[in-house]
Amino acid sequence: MHRLRNASRDYDWGSSSDIPHFLGASPDGRPLAEIWMGTHELSPSEVEVDGDTASLAGVAGQLPYMMKILAAGRPLSLQVHPNAQLARVGFEAENAAGVPLDAPHRTYKDPRHKPEMAYALTTFDTLVGFRPTAEILRVLDGIDTDLASRLAEELRVKPGFDGIVRIVEQLVQEPPEPAEIAAIVDECRRLVAQHVDVKRAYLTVLEVSEHFPGDSGLVLTLLLNRVTLQPGEAAFLGAGIIHAHLHGMCLEVMTSSDNVLRAGLTSKHVDPEGLVTCLERGMSRLARITPEVVGTETEVFAPDVDEFALAVTQVAVAANGVELYGTGRRIALCTGGRVELVAGNGDRLSMVRGDSVYLDPADGRVEVEGSGEVAVAFTPDDEIAGRLIDLV
């Protein structure tokens, strides 16, 4: 068992208090957005070995997954992640063009796809996946502006996924005039004041406009489902699903990738054409994950991917010790309380909230004692299969 030292990211959308509070540290005013745990080339973790420091990759090899603590103080960018083929082709093309890996305008940071799962640590709000056509039309028909009327008419002429994508393409490649966007915001404000809304679509525009006034992404949010996860709930976002997290703190577990294509609501590099190319059909992957219960203490969230799953174990003082799920290469994060891990060889390691540990296959059966909660990222086998419930 090796304690981890993890890199942090202070993106401008981060929260100045959530992650420091989670880690038991004092806020320093920075908008701390993410803590990365894994072996990704851009921000690999380090481990403590015999009082010294080594790279996690040097001890564990390259892990197929990584885990993040993510805290959104304001909305993230409208984004989508590529599938495996697009990631490989895009990565090779940017390498051939000589684009540095750390260049701000680089899109593909690695050749891997990026499906991901969000496990809520606080109430977590996100926009994810397209609303059904009929629902989008109800949203647009309620807004008395020329732009909303034009978009609704286009969707009536060409309904369904292809028609929605055509509207997305139009909005990101030929953004509306600022006055047209402002008119949409004003209409949403009028409707919300009258207690009129369609599944929080108008409220979302008002919330996001506080941070991105005049951004064409405000209009795009009208097309997306708003989903709220309560602490302990998880949702799966397959590659090709458009989304934008709004606020709250979660654990993200994903393939070891940082490929993100953005279309708005951001100060980072945007790639509208690339985003449209990555959009995929099939909203069944936009799903809440029903966990598999192991014993009485552990819930296993296993979406339909080969690279990652998450097991969350809660233990009470009265318990004699609860076995953590799995025996392979695992990353364990204490998400609450004070616990102690006990390896098969008798080694012990104490953890409080925010502490993270790499568990090696050689550690064998690892038990957790004390009172608290431990989340474990791992590569699933055929014995566990999560159930996905369509959110829309």
Question: What is the secondary structure of 29-47 as a DSSP string?
Answer: S--B-EEEES--TTS--EE
Per-residue confidence (pLDDT) for residue 390, from 0 to 100: 59
Bridge partners, residue 250, by sequence: 70, 120
In the prediction, which pLDDT does 282 show?
58
Q: How far apart, in whole angstroms, are the C-alpha atoms of residue 262 and residue 276?
A: 10
How many helical (H) and strand (E) elements, i.e. helices and strands, does the chain have? 10, 23
Measured CA to CA, the distance from residue 60 to residue 272 in angstroms comes to: 37
* Phi/psi-derived region of residue 218, left when phi > 0, alpha when psi is between -120 and 50, beta in every other case: alpha
* pLDDT recorded at residue 284: 40
Say what the pLDDT of residue 391 is: 56
Nearest to 370 by CA among 352, 345, 346, 347: 352
For 48, 108, 287, the CA distances from 259, given in Å and listed in that order, are 29, 5, 21
Mean pLDDT of 225-239: 92
- Cα diameter, the chain: 70
CB 123 within 8 A of CB 229: yes
Q: Going by C-beta distance under 8 Å and a sequence separation of 6 or more, which residues neighbour residue 207?
A: 75, 246
Taking the C-alpha atoms of residue 55 and residue 53, their distance in angstroms, rounded to an integer, is 7
Range 332-346 average pLDDT: 94
Q: For residue 167, which of 178, 177, 156 has the smallest C-alpha distance?
A: 156
| Average pLDDT rounded to a whole number, residues 364-372 | 93
- Amino acid identity, residue 144? D
Cβ-in-10-Å burial (0-12, 13-18, 19+) of 230 comes to: exposed
Query: Hey, is 330 helix, strand or coil?
Result: strand
Confidence of residue 304 (pLDDT cuts 50, 70, 90): confident
Please choose, from the candidates 82, 9, 11, the residue with its C-alpha nearest in 3D space to the C-alpha of residue 267. Answer: 11
| Section 101-129 average pLDDT | 91
Residue with tokens 């080694």: 347
The whole-number pLDDT of residue 285 equals 46
Tell me, what DSSP letter sits at residue 354?
T
Distance CA(274)–CA(82), nearest Å, equals: 9
Distances in Å between the alpha carbon of 82 and those of 85, 96, 115, 118, 259? 8, 19, 8, 17, 7
Task: Quick: pLDDT tens for 213-229.
Answer: 999 999 999 999 999 99
Q: How many CA atoms lie within 13 A of 157 on its CB side?
A: 8
Active site amino acids: 262
Output DSSP code: residue 231.
T
HEC string for 79-138: EECCCHHHHHHHHHHHHHCCCCCCCCCCCCCCCCCCCEEEEECCCEEEEEEECCHHHHHH
Higher-pLDDT residue of 22, 50: 22
pLDDT at 319: 66
What is the Cα gyration radius of the chain?
22
pLDDT at 238: 85
Q: Is residue 47 a contact partner of residue 9, using CB atoms and an 8 Å limit?
A: no
Enter the DSSP assignment of 32.
B
At 380-392, the pLDDT tens digits run 876 665 566 655 5
Distances (CA, A) of 195 to 10, 30, 125, 131: 37, 36, 20, 21
Calculate mean pLDDT across residues 66-70.
97
